[in-house]
Structure 1
Amino acid sequence: MVSKVYGAKPFVVDIVKDTTYTFSVNGMCQQALLDSGGVLNVYLHSSNGTTQLESLTIDSATPTTKSITFTAKYSGKLHINFYL
């Protein structure tokens, strides 16, 4: 669960360069957030924030699953963060 007050704990996973991954997230936004132009953004990036730079956006008031398939550009830690 993500909220403006508490946020969500980031995930960190190990990835291997030149390996293809599919990342899926299921979520929804409160209607009030959508009415004010807000969305839930999910970012996948390296520890320094400059490599991989994949993202997903949840912009629905009903449970929605979004997926992205990507090939890792490096081996190491992939950080997954959630922002409203």
Structure 2
Amino acid sequence: MRQRRQGSPYLVRVMGGECTHQRLADHGLLRTDDPALAADHFAGLLLWVPMNKAMFHCGLQHTEAELDHYATTGVRALLAAYAMEPTES
């Protein structure tokens, strides 16, 4: 499997919306009765740390590596909360 790394804008575009979360749930990849809330949780996971640092640390600029780290750990947290267990599908 070829892995492409596009950074956080790519992740937001691919996984950030309610429709995407609904499709993932429909395909048995996410466990949620409320795709809109799952999408909101994901957006919060992606944006909370960089937004707070930008607002409360005098406009701190983030490196691409930091943003990639926030996106990666946000995806991991989303999957820990919403991923289907192998026995559930």
Q: What range describes the TM-score normalised by the shorter chain of this pair?
A: under 0.3
- Bigger RCO (CA 8 Å, 6+ sep): 1
Structure with the higher fraction of residues in strand conformation:
1
TM-score of the superposition, structure 2-length normalised? 0.27
Rg larger in 1 or in 2? 2
TM-score of the superposition, structure 1-length normalised? 0.28
